[in-house]
Structure 1
């Protein structure tokens, strides 16, 4: 291995509320996570990313934070965090925490004070506040949309409006305000002082907005450049935080949650900024050879020019389950493809089990996206259903017998459980457990330059550098002969004899 520990690390995203519930209140918690750490160590991951555990009213499942430097008592204590960090390090792993610094909860003391104060008050200066348009300010200040649906502005009721790029209960902070900047830095130091190995910066591109608050042009579509996302000024913030990360020992990692093409994420990876920036576009690439080859080459070119590598995201709590996006075979094939490529990989909890997307009843959905879209977008809860650890009936080992998980688990959920798959050599879990150590032996640390080999139509074949193993990916509908690419198959995403099945990946030497 060359470079810092995170350069080609495999990080496992623990969606805390759905991972393991120790006390039976229906919510996954820090003690529950600690009890399952041996499972993660045996899986072979390098690091664990823990989603927010801070005090929150849960309008957006913990991403609406009341106190960034404390723990929600439903989820544990600060002592539990310290024990978690110690346990993770004892197992030879690293731990990342999730900082939500673009916005706070509407129950945060700063916003409570801003709501009570009047227009023009200092309390409102910490937020993006503008007078409304139209008679008596009854219309929003501009036409910016919320990412969760509807307008991005909500009224105070006195002519002023506040910006919320997400839910109305998540008012956006003004990072130009000295108190906001100082508080964010204090939060960063607080968790680094407790020994965490890295920070995932939520909504990384949203921390700077155009102070003129211009309207979006006619014809604007989500994904187009916007005056509230990925502006040049946001990089001043990350350079400041990167200096703080660098002042601590142990190659502390800063990773940006970025959405967009290579040109959007690459600036976050400049030598004086962060170590990783999420490549989320591959989550939506179809299983066709040309989009993957072109996309991989573009991401490698954009990241290596800054001395970094791509950060491949196989799954996330913000998108549908991998098997829903690519199919069961495709999800396994993409996992082996990503593990062979240069860079880091993020694996979402449950995708190593191949759990499906769950169709929840309307009254079970908690995601504010569902409410704000008027029910037209069912949101992200289908990928957040608490994990099945055991067979039998609910809660399938997620919590104590008789407890009720915060999202309902479907009938038969135990068929996807760790217990069911533990001794099944053909299971998704067995594939993941086999792939991660093999990756360390055969792929990690190899050259970042890809040598593309001739391949059948609808297939990809490459080495990293001029020699070494070959990764063969069959994205077609018919089997292909793998023997021209190696004498021995190290691993295949689907059992293969002389031919590699459709929608499958093999590692060959």
Structure 2
């Protein structure tokens, strides 16, 4: 059982013998702001509600951007804000070149862009090219057109199997549960073809074998680049192209490896033709200058396959899902960090690091378990085993300090700087994740990590908005974690994040090197040196002793620590549940 979580960042004295070091990664001097950036994910519907309708909006983001600049991040990534029926929180897009009225207008977007640039923040936006909404004009045209028409060729329509075509074209499954195919009807009501949707039935997959689809998304890229965005996070970037013939697949619906079904063989993911798509997109971005970027949400394994997405003529970054899923296993963490840096260094790309996003249980809750926690993509309900939130927040702070000392880029999910846990007590009638509906409630889905942010403890709806109730209810714990209370406390989670980001920038850790500090890489601790900075994480019951140096920061400011004499060397000992400052 893990009962101690201690992290410290130490700049060793030049005379200090730090013990044997294993160099993994040299310092990075290549140009590109993204190579070391800290990028903050804004989930618009849950960030700040300025018009009082219970849903966050672009004006609310503009209002609170100074807080993000003060936090010390380099850029903001916006989850979808496009026109959408909101069946999947905006990832079902009906118009890629307009703002959904619940978020505002294109004018509001332009105001937000101007404010972000005034504050020195870049903005990247979500792009959802694998699928759209069934309300998109192109799909509505496909439904009205006959089989074999150009309109249907924008999507993946197929005849069914069986004597009367009543069975799906193949056995693929939706990520949200159930089959990945839905049958449509002709105008006279007779059964017709089936269309593919790797996600919800309201999200038909585009047919990327059709040049017209390529042309449409090139138009979309230019539309937002012309409005000043610094790039795109590409949703399920590995899924656009499907294997010829759409062969059956007996492995996991998400394409991850399982026994007998290695992920690289999944016919709906990682197809070779994808690379030409991204080479063309890279050429388009390069026309706007060297500072526009593409980041792939490509959940592929093993790690060397990730490097295929970030070669010099394709993506600039790819999300590091193996790191997100490594948890607090020191052996697994060391392996993922080593493999990430080595694989990406081989193609001249930076690694990225992330602990939470809008699709997983927040790490302040995940790390509150000593045993089995929630499954990926599933939330925590009131009937489930509950995490120890105090333990989870302590471990979350330590894991964040450890991550933000790593070289490369880092992504933060809104609210993690407050140490927010997942929401647990969400009434069934308020749940909106399609996973919950498609599995009949068997899987709760992701609503728990999408609870609105608490801004000001004493205000209506904790300062999120002053009108209607927020679209998801606040847990009772959120009032004590509100941003205004934490901003006033030098020992808060928020204060720690500010200090981490200040040190990261000041010491240039994002551009630094990495060597494993072997004396502190044990079964219960992990240590590395980035430049002249030693970063240690301790997961043991027992205190951890280390050579003295100038201690810059610890994850638990109230933790106990004392210096001991050990021969001619001064050592710092950290007690249980403490971290060095």
Report the TM-score, using the length of structure 1 for normalisation.
0.95
1:168 aligns with 2:201: yes
Aligned partners of 2:477 and 2:267: how far apart in 1?
Answer: 47
Q: How many residues matched?
A: 502
Cα deviation code 1:160-203 (max 9, x no counterpart): 10000010000000122121110100000111111111111111
Which one of the candidate residues 186, 193, 197 is aligned to 2:226?
193
- Structure 1 residue corresponding to 2:479, chosen from 398, 414, 432: 414
Q: Retained in 2: the 8 A contact 1:473–1:503? A: no
Aligned-pair distance for 1:334? 1.4
Q: CA deviation at 1:412?
A: 4.3
- The aligned residue for residue 447 of structure 2 is 381
Distance (Å, rounded) in 1 between the aligned partners of 2:398 and 2:576: 10
Cα offset, 1:447, TM superposition = 3.6
Match for 1:324 among 352, 357, 365?
365
**Alignment RMSD:** 1.8
Q: Structure 2 vs 1, CA of residues 219 and 268 (structure 1 numbering), >3 Å: closer, same or farther?
A: closer
Residue 451 of structure 1 and its aligned partner are, at CA, apart by 4.0
User: Does residue 489 in structure 1 map to residue 522 in structure 2?
Assistant: no
Task: Judge which range, 197-206 or 471-480, deviates more.
Answer: 471-480
Deviation at 1:344, TM superposition (A): 0.5
**Inter-CA distance 395–445: structure 2 relative to 1 (3 Å threshold):** closer
- Within the candidate set 266, 270, 278, 1:238 is matched to 278
Change (3 A) 1:122 1:63: same
Larger Rg, first or second structure (1 or 2)? 2
Q: Which residue of 1 aligns with 2:463?
A: 397
Tell me, in whole angstroms, the C-alpha distance in 1 between the residues paired with 2:365 and 2:510: 32
Partner of 2:433: 367
Q: Structure 1: how far apart are the matches of 2:404 and 2:152?
A: 47
Distance of 2:354 and 2:90 partners within structure 1:
21
Q: Secondary structure at the match of 1:308?
A: coil
Q: Which of 86, 92, 106 pairs up with 1:64?
A: 92
| Secondary structure class of the residue paired with 1:68 | strand
Contact kept, 8 Å, 1:199 with 1:254, in 2: the verdict is yes
1:295-334 alpha-carbon deviations (Å, 9 max, x no partner): 1101111111111121111210010011111221221111
* Residue 500, structure 1, aligned to residue 561, structure 2: no
Counterpart pick for 1:471 among 510, 529, 535: 535
CA contact 2:42–2:77 (8 Å) conserved in 1: yes
Kept in 1, the 8 Å contact 2:405–2:510? The answer is no
The 5-angstrom pairing of residues 347-366 of structure 1 reads 347-359=412-424, 360-366=426-432
Q: Quick one: distance in 2 between partners of 1:145 and 1:220? A: 5
Alignment partner, residue 440 of structure 1: 505
Helix, strand or coil at the partner of 1:395: helix
**Structure 1 residues 231 and 388: CA distance shift in structure 2, 3 A:** same
Quote the residue 1:132 is aligned against: 160
SS for the counterpart of 1:159 is strand
Q: Give yes or no for the alignment of 1:229 onto 2:269.
A: yes
Distance 1:186 1:42, change over 3 A: same
- For residues 463-495 of structure 1, what are the alpha-carbon distances to aligned partners after superposition, in whole Å with 9 as ceiling and x for unaligned? 125xx010111122322124x1x4111011112
Distance 1:209 1:73 in 2: 34
Counterparts of 2:400 and 2:118, CA distance in 1: 27
In the other structure, the counterpart of 1:95 is 123
1:474–1:500 CA contact under 8 A, matched in 2:
no
Gaps of 5+ in 2: 1-27, 186-190, 258-262, 368-391, 563-572
Using structure 2 for the length normalisation, give the TM-score. 0.83
Per-residue Cα deviation, 1:326-372 (whole angstroms, up to 9, x for no partner)? 22122111111111111100000011101111111211110001111
In structure 1, what is the equivalent of residue 214 of structure 2? Answer: 181
CA distance in 2, matches of 1:476, 1:219: 35
Selected match of 1:270 from 290, 297, 311: 311
